[in-house]
Every structure is written in C-alpha cells, then in structure tokens.
Amino acid sequence: MKMLTGKRPPAQLPNTNDPCWCDSGQKYKKCHKEADNAYLREERRLLEENRIRKGKVGPQREVPEHIARPEYLKNPGGEPAEGNGRLVRTAEELVRMRKAGAAAAKVLRLAGEAVRPGVTTDQLDAIAHQAAIDLGAYPSPLGYRGFPKSICSSPNEVICHGIPDSRALLDGDIVNLDITVFLNGVHGDTNATFLVGNVDDDSRRLVDVTRECMMRGIKAIKPGRPVSDIGRAIEAHADEHGYGVVRSYCGHAIGDVFHGELQIPHYFDARANTKMEVGMTFTVEPMITMGTFDCYLWDDEWTVVTRDLRRTAQFEHTIVVTETGAEILTKE
C-alpha cells in the first residue's frame, strides 16, 4: 500500500480555537487544521482503496477418523456445551497441556515460515491443517460454532477471526495466524503476527509493541492478584506508544474446553477481579491497534475489522499460573 509522507496528525486533535498541537502559538484553525483534514481525508481514501476484501472460501478440510475430536463437534452447529469446566488444572492435565501447547507452537511456526507475498491464506490453512494432523492433533477451530477452516488468518485491519480464503498476501502486508489444536483431551492456543515481505516501519513497530504488550501481561501474572493486573500492564504499554487496545475480545480460560468462562481483558477493568490461583490455565492475547479500538463485524459473522481500517496486530500464549508467576505452555 502506498504510504503517506509527512507527520500524521495526533490522535486527539485540538478544538478549532485551541492552540495548535505543533506548539507554534497560533490557534489550530490558523495553523494545522486544514493540512490535518487533508491528510486524514487522503489516508482514509488510501485505506478504503487498499482494505481487505473477501476471497473465495474453499471446502472444509478432512481430518482422519483416528484423531480424537473435541466435544463440541457432537453438538448441532458445533456449539460448545453449557458449563465451561474447571479453572485450576491437575498436575496430570498440565502434562497434557504442555504437549498440546508445544504442538500448537510447532504448527504456528510451520505456518509462519510459509508466509510470503503471493501465498494465499487458504494455503497457510492447508499447511497448518496438515501439520496438526501429522502431530496427531485436531485443529480446534474447524467446525467450532460452524467455523469453516482450521486456523484464523487476519491480515492488516482484520482484528481477529479472519477466514482463510483465496486472497493472496501482498508485499507489505502483516498477517496474524491464530492456531489452536486439540490433543490428548486438551487445547493449546497460540498466535503471532507475521511480516509479509517489505513492511513499512510503522507496521513493524506495531508488531513489536504488540509482542511486548503480551509479554508485559504475562509478566504481571501473580497468584493472589486479580486478573485485571494483566490488562493494566498491557494497556499501560500500549498507551505509552499511542496505540489502542481492543475491548470487544479478550483472553479466556482453556483446558479440556476451548473457551472457558474466565475472561482476561487486555485493558484495565476493575470488574475483572477474579484472583489468580496456582494451576489456572488461560490465554493472554492482546489485540493492539494503530488507531481506534472500535470494530465492526463482516456479514460472514466471523471477520472483525477496525472501524477506521488502520492496522492491528496480535500475539497469544496459553499460560499456567505458578507459585512465582506464569509458565508459558505454548512453546516447542
């Protein structure tokens, strides 16, 4: 995508008669107002021109019969059953979750290594699907609430839940790949944002800071503390860099169920007062935006995009709370 030259106006513009943001001493209307409006109009035009458009979604991929399926596939529409399991895992369950997490991490690595200009997100889905099967795992998204593919692929302004399709990745794109596998009765959930070819500095910075936000959130995990500490740490780091934090989607408990009842906001929310306990397993998966955190849903009822069409990135790990902090389970 063509990038605009010059300095982008600040996110919060002054009122007409306020001093200009450039510290010239002039009123905003006499200084940068006209130039800012022109910049923002051109930026919006370019974003609209280059926004992600739907490709063709191919058929669901087959999973061999010998691979164990998650429970929700027995229900109409892949709807998960009522009741979302325990929050604290047993030692034996954690052994299995480490294996599922390592499998998810390997699938993510293999799919990520295939990211390059010209590759379609459906081709990445095929790679991840086969990698999961080769490990004896079921790709958890496939059939979950009717989702048609084995991974979520979310390029550029797509926040999450993008459906892999025939659209080829372009030089300069960024793309998030969200991988979950079901292995030995438990799920491992991870994701990362990858650079496609020659990516502009602003997008690279967004990706780097998003990874840092996830790690800040994980570092804030301590038994006895409320889960709101995680969002507080993430939001503070995003704010420091002038980024937004998506509020409509959050981390979640995970184990024998894909999405447990416990929610992990990635911004500070005092209502998120559940105390962390040793043995709890959940995901930390902040979605960080260049602009607004407001979003809207495509008519496919899955794909979520930023309302201003500016780029967004995400990283995720599944963790277990330990006596001293957190252990990342989604590592090879």
- What CATH number should be reported for the domain holding residue 95? 3.90.230.10
Q: Are residues 42 and 135 in the same domain?
A: no
* β-bridge pairing 287-289 and 138-139: unpaired
Q: Are residues 294 and 184 in the same domain?
A: yes
- Mean pLDDT value across residues 278-304: 96
pLDDT above 90 coverage of the chain, percent: 83
Q: Are residues 25 and 140 in the same domain?
A: no
The answer to whether residue 26 scores a pLDDT higher than 80 is yes
- Mean pLDDT value across residues 129-157: 98
Distance CA 104, CA 152 (A): 13
Give the domain range for residue 256: 69-75+84-328
pTM of the model: 0.90
Distance CA 284, CA 319 (A): 8
* Res 83: pLDDT: 59
Q: Are residues 224 and 171 in the same domain?
A: yes
Q: Which pLDDT band holds residue 17 (cuts at 50, 70, 90)?
A: very high
Q: Are residues 102 and 226 in the same domain?
A: yes
Q: Are residues 39 and 90 in the same domain?
A: no
- In a domain, residue 58? The reply is no
Q: Are residues 93 and 36 in the same domain?
A: no
Summarised one tens digit per residue, pLDDT across range 308-329 is 999 999 999 999 999 999 999 9
E runs forming strands in 149-280: 152-155, 158-160, 174-183, 186-195, 244-245, 251-252, 263-264
- Mean pLDDT value across residues 145-160: 98
- In a domain, residue 255? The reply is yes
Q: Are residues 270 and 221 in the same domain?
A: yes
Sheet holding 281-284, edge to edge: 281-284, 317-321, 326-328
Q: Are residues 42 and 171 in the same domain?
A: no
- In a domain, residue 282? The reply is yes
- In a domain, residue 62? The reply is no
* Res 4: pLDDT: 59
| Domain total of the chain | 2
- In a domain, residue 104? The reply is yes
Summarised one tens digit per residue, pLDDT across range 221-277 is 999 999 999 999 999 999 999 999 999 999 999 999 999 999 999 999 999 999 999
Nearest to 39 by CA among 21, 24, 25, 57: 21
CB 291 within 8 A of CB 150: no
- In a domain, residue 102? The reply is yes
- In a domain, residue 143? The reply is yes
Alpha-carbon Rg for the chain, nearest whole angstrom, is 21
- In a domain, residue 56? The reply is no
Q: Which pLDDT band holds residue 48 (cuts at 50, 70, 90)?
A: confident
Q: Are residues 29 and 142 in the same domain?
A: no
Distance CA 69, CA 236 (A): 40
Q: Are residues 203 and 92 in the same domain?
A: yes
